[in-house]
Amino acid sequence: MRHRLAGRHLNRNSTHRVALFRNLARAIITHESIRTTTPKAKTLRPFIEKLVTLAKRAAVLTAQAETTADPAAKKKLQIQALHLRRLAMAKLGPTHGTGIYDKKDEQVTEPTTNTVLKKLFNVIGPRFVDRPGGYTRIMKLTYRRLGDAGETAIIEFLKEGEKKVRYREKKPAAAPAPVAQG
């Protein structure tokens, strides 16, 4: 029985699942859009959004440190931003040697100078500073994966300033009916 156990196992043990999410997270940070199965995409979403939240909070702290004139307060803000970077590094795993690639799968720079962690904190985090959450989008694809016919989806980051489209407008709540006293 699986009473009160949440989350998908994806037919993997816990260490294999963690490795899977680290690899998928590195791929989505590198390419900003990946195609995978729908259950993997749905399970990856909270994992990657927590990483983006860490990067966003670090971007806010870094911006505050740049505007602060007090050296002690500036140092404290920089230490807090460094702590958030280290938390993300622990969650992502070893990223040394993971290069950043462009749309043609050509490496942008040397793998030791520009890593996934730097892209997360220098590009993706500041992009979502004004956004309260919901940094990714999952679009289900109509065709299934060859081999096991698994449902496929694309998970991608939203563009800068982009808003999610709501197809149906929310209706206002109905007013409560008057209570008859008698």
Q: What is the DSSP string of 93-104?
A: ---TT---B-TT
CA distance 162 to 170: 20
Per-residue pLDDT of 87-120, as tens digits, reads 999 999 887 666 677 767 777 766 556 788 999 9
CA distance 53 to 45: 12
Q: Which class is 17-157 in CATH?
A: alpha beta
Q: Are 20 and 87 in contact (CB under 8 A)?
A: no
Give the model's pLDDT for residue 169: 76
Tens of pLDDT along the chain (182 residues) come to: 889 888 889 999 999 999 999 999 999 998 899 999 999 999 999 999 999 999 999 999 999 999 999 999 999 999 999 999 999 999 998 876 666 777 677 777 665 567 889 999 999 999 999 999 999 999 999 999 899 999 999 999 999 888 766 777 777 877 777 777 76
> Dihedral of CA 91/41/126/124: which sign?
positive
In the three-class reduction of DSSP (H, G, I as helix; E, B as strand; rest coil), residue 150 is classed as coil
Per-residue pLDDT of 33-44, as tens digits, reads 999 999 999 999
Give the model's pLDDT for residue 93: 87
The torsion angles phi and psi of 38, rounded to 5 degrees, stand at -60, -45
Give the model's pLDDT for residue 96: 66
Q: Look up residue 93 and give its amino acid.
A: G
Residue 88 CA, chain-centre distance (Å), reads: 11
In the three-class reduction of DSSP (H, G, I as helix; E, B as strand; rest coil), residue 58 is classed as helix
